[in-house]
Chains A and B, each alone.
Chain A
Amino acid sequence: MASPFLEVRGVTKRFPGVLALDSVSLQVSQGEVLGLIGENGAGKSTLMKILGGIHQPDAGMILIEGRPTSIADVAQSNALGLGLIHQELNVLGNLDVGANIFLGREPLWGGPLKLIDRKKIRRDAEPFMHKLGLKISPAAPMRNLSLAQQQMVEIAKALSQNARLLIMDEPTSSLTLTETQRLLETIGELKRQGVGIIYISHRLGEVQLCADRVEVLRDGRNAGALMREEISHDRMIRLMVGRDLKSMYVAGAGAAGRGGLEVRGLVTRANPLQRISFTAHRGQILGLAGLVGAGRSEMAQAVFGVEPPLAGEILLDDAPLNIASPRDAIAAGIFLVPEDRRQTGLLVEMNIRENITLPGLEAATRWGMIQRKRERAIARRQADSLQLRAPNLEVKARNLSGGNQQKVVVAKWLALRPQVLIVDEPTRGIDVGAKAEVYRLLRGLADSGVAIIMISSDMEEVLAVSDRIAVMHEGAISGLLSRPQFSEEAVMRLAVGKTAA
């Protein structure tokens, strides 16, 4: 048996107050895909950052091709053949795609003048982008790309650095079906070329598809490993969580209550040639599926008033609404949990209490002055009902895990009695345990009469959680599915534009 390309032996890492990694070991061979899974806080990101040269281990050894090495910085990590693709994208919006791919390694010409050879950048970037099916010009400005496309560029960048081991952290979190499929195919291709891959993901379905082995981390320690034949959803969850998790999807009543949100002939700025019409009934979760770029988030933003629609009507319980800004939507009880929680969902520099009370601060004031006690009580009530895990309410949102941050965003709205709750990718980057809580919460809200619209690119999630599914394609609703019609093929067919047979 060939010695592994990368071996991590007994690595320990301590941060102030936290033991992030406790004597963790694993190995990856060339041409092998190792799935690395674990709940948030299990230590996956820390391990990844150590391999990427961002942190130094406090104990243990890292061996590359059998030789003990220390990875002092990012440049050295790259030189050793390790390529890191972060979950939180490290792209430079003000530069173009080619510049991002070759950042720090720009081909130069002109001798002592050291001018950047843009033509060469464009030429060299092409094959990598083509391999990933990115149909954009290397000269395209990065900031014009969608989150999903930016992620693809990150991957292209790592590929262009001839990495022999790629470490991908939640690579498909912003990708949908087709792009995920393409990525998994690319991973297969890379395997054939002898590249090793550490695939870190919460999407156990994907891990099951592409991993040759799975290594599980829990609370900073090795919690178990699975060989290819042993990989299954249940086993993975059991090792991650340490116990059997009953199905995280909660079946609900799902019967349509009276009233709800009706959208008639809505025209968004992003897709001015399409009209969107649908109804989200109270008591139900309406899943909104579709490929990235289908216009779901834009539609949500139109309903929420961030980008007021060009035309169309929005009615709540048959009463027409005039929504010109988020304030109007909020006043009507329509709330949005946005896709990018760190950018628009939360104020990361403010603490939990301030975030939760922000939209409804008036409730905690007397004569215009904020009453600290009342404010704290409101925040505490919401935090407790959502089982928010934090030492106290004064913790800055920046310091919370993804799952807890999402809870803060939701808590903010729950305090204001939602009539309609639109959630955009509610469980992105959240571990299994927290996901189950989110689903339970959504179901509970629906049962209590709230109309829920759940935008999701996670096929499994959409099929399991929704009562009805509306599929969008290129700015319009291509079809509606009721429970008996649910299937991956049905959703896919509508997502790519073939209307239901």
Chain B
Amino acid sequence: MKKELGIAILLLVVCIVLSICNPRFLTPFNLRNTGGLIGMYGIISIGMGLVIITRGIDLSVGSVFALEGVLLAIMLQEWHFVWPLACAIAIGLAMAIGWFHALLITRARLQPFIVTLCGFLIYRGLAMYIAHDESKGFGSQGYNFLRWVANKTAWGFPIPFVVLIIVAVATAVLLHKSVFGRHLYAVGHNEEAAIYSGINSKRIITLAYVINGLLVGIAAIIFAFQMNTVAPANHGLAFEMYAIAAAVLGGCSLWGGEGSILGIVIGAALLQVLQNLVNLLRIPTSLNLSVMGAVILAGVLADQFFSQRKRRIRAAVVEVQPGTTTTVNRA
């Protein structure tokens, strides 16, 4: 709970500061907008978190967004598929890509960084080729459900945000309360030891990447309709970076075995609020990325500092009962 508390406080502080500096932050319009973005980014951050817990990474998220966006536009506008079918195919494609990555990682024993880096390159290239490097749009008619999901609200909350909450609750239960979750953490900490305990590490890792694919697929549809166009060259560009940043801010360690859904969601929220901050405080938009990078760095450093300090304080408070064999770290 401690890690999440720190970043939650940071988020709160940033929101308060922002509200004071520019009350427009609190207008329903702005909150809805930001909320919708938090929803979409949050979903891919959760997927990324799962993968990072297995000691992996997925650098291909943005490129899958581009590929999926292009295919979605073609399926809906040119081939006139009904939207449930188009969505199913799109999400299925993202899951298949996840499965394929996992295959290379678990069977061919390639490093996730390399596999997904190649994905980053390959899928965007494919997207640009398929679209003949033109922008694809969804027009202004049709697929109202999808447009509604991407842009409208329910009970005042932007639907993407609602979807994020549903996804977050579901994955939180999966991760923190199910056997799969325990096995996932075990594989992330030490895959060999997990195997020696009878865990099918290949299956666990594959599931993590496929679930990530599912979440990427869903988020890609939302994003496509938030933008209403897909420019394959930069649609979704660098989104994996936001996802990784959110996951790391939220407590995931790139060494694997650590992370919580709550932290990831707060991390994603913080990143979007920071974007908002840059806009509302009239900081030149060119510094957008720098501001985010600086805050992420500060956040991670602060976390390191506090966790080391806490470890020292906690250790000093521990008392030793006389007569027991010492069990303090000696091995």
Within the complex, what minimum Cβ distance (angstroms) separates B274 from chain A? 31
**Beta-carbon contact of A17 and B179 below 8 Å:** no
Within the complex, what minimum Cβ distance (angstroms) separates A36 from chain B? 15
**Binary contact readout B304-325 vs A (1 if CB under 8 angstroms, 0 otherwise):** 0000000010011111100011
Give the 4 A-B residue pairs with the shortest CB-CB distance, closest first.
A16-B315, A17-B318, A41-B326, A330-B198
8 Å CB contacts to B: which residues of A283-323? 304, 306
Question: Cα distance A336–B257 when bound, in Å?
Answer: 24
Asked if B145 lies at the interface with its beta carbon under 8 angstroms from chain A, I say no
8 Å CB contacts to B: which residues of A421-438? 429, 433
Question: Cα distance A400–B179 when bound, in Å?
Answer: 25
Q: Interface residue count for B (Cβ, 8 Å)?
A: 36
**Beta-carbon contact of B325 and A336 below 8 Å:** no
Asked if B169 lies at the interface with its beta carbon under 8 angstroms from chain A, I say no
Within the complex, what minimum Cβ distance (angstroms) separates B4 from chain A? 18
**Beta-carbon contact of A362 and B192 below 8 Å:** no
Question: Cα distance A330–B194 when bound, in Å?
Answer: 13
**Beta-carbon contact of A389 and B327 below 8 Å:** yes
**Beta-carbon contact of B320 and A347 below 8 Å:** no
8 Å CB contacts to B: which residues of A99-134? none
Interface residues, chain B, with chain A CB atoms under 8 Å away? 173, 177-180, 182-183, 185-186, 189-190, 192-200, 257, 312, 315-320, 324-331
**Beta-carbon contact of A345 and B196 below 8 Å:** yes
Question: Cα distance A20–B327 when bound, in Å?
Answer: 11
**Beta-carbon contact of B198 and A326 below 8 Å:** yes
**Beta-carbon contact of B178 and A412 below 8 Å:** no
Find chain A residues with CB under 8 A from B198 CB: 325-327, 329-330, 359
**Beta-carbon contact of B186 and A370 below 8 Å:** no
Find chain A residues with CB under 8 A from B194 CB: 347, 358
**Beta-carbon contact of A401 and B193 below 8 Å:** no
Interface residues, chain A, with chain B CB atoms under 8 Å away? 15-20, 39-41, 45, 88, 304, 306, 325-327, 329-330, 336, 338, 342-350, 354, 358-359, 361-362, 365, 368-370, 389-391, 395, 398-402, 404-405, 412, 429, 433
A-B contacts, 18 listed (Cβ < 8 Å): A17-B318, A20-B326, A88-B331, A304-B196, A326-B195, A338-B196, A344-B192, A347-B197, A350-B186, A358-B186, A358-B194, A358-B197, A359-B198, A359-B199, A368-B180, A370-B177, A404-B327, A429-B331
A401-B189 CB under 8 A given contacts A17-B319, A17-B320, A361-B182: no
Partner of A399, one of B320, B325, B328: B328
Question: Cα distance A19–B189 when bound, in Å?
Answer: 31
Find chain B residues with CB under 8 A from A306 CB: 195-196
Find chain A residues with CB under 8 A from B192 CB: 343-344
Partner of A41, one of B178, B312, B315, B330: B330
Partner of A349, one of B183, B190, B196: B190
A401-B315 CB under 8 A given contacts A343-B193, A361-B179, A389-B325: no
